[in-house]
Amino acid sequence: MLTGLAGKRVLVTGGAGGLGAAMARTLAGQGAHLVVADRDGAAADALAREINGETWEMDFLDTAALESPRLEVDVLINNAGVQTIAPIQDFEPAAFRRILTLMLEVPFLLTRAALPHMYRQGYGRIINISSIHGLRASEFKSAYVAAKHGLEGFSKATAREGGPHGVTSNCVNPGYVRTAMVEGQLKDQAATHGIGEGAVLETVMLARNAIKRLVEPHEVATLVAFLASEQAAMVTGASYVLDGGWNA
């Protein structure tokens, strides 16, 4: 049984569905109080009611609104993300900026907002949902790969600064997770690679895996719960891979 989560205030971005919702449910099951942050307020409200949490309806692309707030949370999970698939020469600059904003600048702004409270109390957990693409590159995902590589570096810098104050910072690096975002990539991947949608899973998404299946959201959520717990007090500046052997 993990300890130290009961009563802890946890903020998870992109928390209304998919991987975010799985993490929220898992941590709530360990006794944490969840703040479900998402631009879809109705979906966030529904989940918050289910787990006795609360909702923060927020479009995180509105970065100006994140420059002044202070967050009084014990655990921050930077999870919100999007994906665009295209060759570099065809990649729309606006789409590139959108991905870097949401998946690199926003984690910086939220961490910046959360650290003063964490430092005052001498305790905090920053958990950044990265990706195998934070460690390895794939073609046609230049913005996503760039954002996740940047998040890895930012997470390590946070670990160095936060350590003396009792704050840990780690990345979680899943392969392809069974979520709506991954399922939505099938059509784009098929068009970009010039293959049928049915072949994308086998020849693209799982081609490098030793275990030929998608990662389940609850598997990622279980690791996140560990990193948020007392048992992970000495784990910081690390990147935890769940990729079925892709990176072996």
Please state, in angstroms and rounded to a whole number, the distance separating the CA atoms of residues 240 and 16: 23
Q: Among all chains, which residue has been given the structure tokens 């870097």?
A: 100
127: its two tokens: 């958990």
Side chain identity at 87, as an amino acid letter?
P
Please state, in angstroms and rounded to a whole number, the distance separating the CA atoms of residues 9 and 11: 7
Phi and psi of 177, rounded to 5°? -100, 145
The answer to whether the CB of 220 falls within 8 A of the CB of 177 is yes
The strands making up 124-129's β-sheet, listed across from edge to edge, are 54-57, 33-38, 9-13, 75-78, 124-129, 167-174, 239-242
Give yes or no: 144 in active site.
Answer: yes
Name the burial class of residue 194, with classes exposed (0-12), middle (13-18) and buried (19+) by CB atoms within 10 angstroms of its CB.
exposed
- DSSP of 201-213: IIIIISTT-SS-S
- Identified catalytic residue from 119, 144, 176, 240: 144
The answer to whether the CB of 144 falls within 8 A of the CB of 99 is yes
Name the burial class of residue 207, with classes exposed (0-12), middle (13-18) and buried (19+) by CB atoms within 10 angstroms of its CB.
exposed
Length of the chain: 248
Name the β-bridge partners of 55. Answer: 36
Q: Which residues are catalytic?
A: 144
